[in-house]
Amino acid sequence: MPPAAVQTAEWGVQSTWQWRGWPCHWRVSGPEGSPALLLLHGFGAASGHWRHCAPRLADQGWRVYSLDLLGFGQSAQPARPMDNRLWALQVCAFLDQVVQEPAVVIGNSLGGLTALTAAVLAPKRVRAVVAAPLPDPALIQPLPKRRAPWRRRWQRRLLALVLHVLPLELVVPLIVRTGLLKAGLQGAYWQSIQSDPELLQLIARPARRPTAARALRGMSLGMANRPRGATAPALLEQLRVPMLLIWGRQDRFVPLAIGESVAASHPELELRVLDRCGHCPHDEAPDRFLAVLLPWLDRNLGGPDRQGTTSGDETHPFGGG
C-alpha cells in the first residue's frame, strides 16, 4: 500500500467493483480491521478530490474508503436518469459488498446529499453522516406535498424534450477545452487555484470521456424529476443517526444562509463554519476541516478506537409527489 502521508489525487489502493453490471471505481487506505469511513465526492469531482484528507484520516487509524459515484470519475457513465436515490443505493451496496461493515459516510456537496439519503435508506449501514455542505434546491423552495399527476407528467416530458434538443455532446467538450471549466471551478474556491494543475485535471479527465454528455443529461433529468420524499427537507425529517454540517463561509454555490436555516430547523444537527473557505472545505482548508471533523467523530462515535453500529429498521423513504 502507498504511504498514507502521500497527499495526491492518486492516494490509496484503487480497484473496480461491479454493481448492476456497471464498473465502479473505488479506493482504500488505512489499517485493515479499523472502523470504516466512506468519502463521497461532489458534482463533477471524483474520489481523488479527497487527496488532502483521506491519507491523514488513515494516519489517524481509520480504514478510509472512497467511491466514484455513477456518472463521475472512473465509474461508468450510463445513459439513464440518475439522482441521489440511485447513488444512495450504490453506496449501500458498496457498504454491504466491499466495506462489509457500517461506516461513517462523509460527503462534499452532492456527496453530502447522497450520504444523507443512504443514512435514511439504510440506517443500520451508516453510523453517522457529515455533509460539507448540503446542497438541494428544495432547501430554498420545497416541493409541494402533492402535485397533480398530469402536471408531473407534462413537466417530465418537457424537460426530456429540452435535454434531448440541447447539444450537450458539443457543449461539454467546449467547456472542457476552453477556460470555462477553470473559471467555473474557481467559483467553488475562495483561494486561487492557479497553482493547482492537479485539481483541474481531476475534474477535466472524466468530462473528456465520450459518455460524459449522456451521463450529464441523465443526471439533469433524474435530479429534476425526484419525488418530494427524495429531497433534503424530507430526508432530514427521517434521519436517525448523528449528522454534522460543515460550511465554507464564502461558499458561492450553496450560501451559508441555507446551512443556518437547516441548523435552525433541526437543532439536533451541528453546524460548523470555516472562514476564508468556499464550496470545497475538505480540499481548500483540510487542516481546519479535520480539526472540526475529528473531535466530532470522537464525541459521537468514540473515534477509530471504539467501534459501534446504529440501530433501526431499514425502510424505503421515498414517496411520490
Question: Does residue 6 lie within any of the structural domains?
Answer: no
Question: Does residue 85 lie within any of the structural domains?
Answer: yes
Question: Does residue 313 lie within any of the structural domains?
Answer: no
Question: Does residue 73 lie within any of the structural domains?
Answer: yes
Question: Does residue 291 lie within any of the structural domains?
Answer: yes
Task: Find the angle CA(25)-CA(9)-CA(63) to the nearest 5 degrees.
Answer: 65
Which residues, other chains included, contact 223 with Cβ-Cβ below 8 Å and sequence gap of 6+?
82, 83, 84
| pLDDT number for residue 308 | 45
Domain ranges, residue 265: 13-305
> What length does the chain have?
321
Question: Does residue 132 lie within any of the structural domains?
Answer: yes
Question: Does residue 310 lie within any of the structural domains?
Answer: no
Question: Does residue 259 lie within any of the structural domains?
Answer: yes
| pLDDT number for residue 233 | 96
| pLDDT number for residue 279 | 98
Report residues of the chain scoring pLDDT below 70: 1-6, 143-148, 150-168, 305-321
Beta pairing, strands 126-131 & 103-107: parallel
How many distinct structural domains can be found in the chain? 1
CATH label of the domain that carries residue 235 = 3.40.50.1820
| pLDDT number for residue 309 | 41
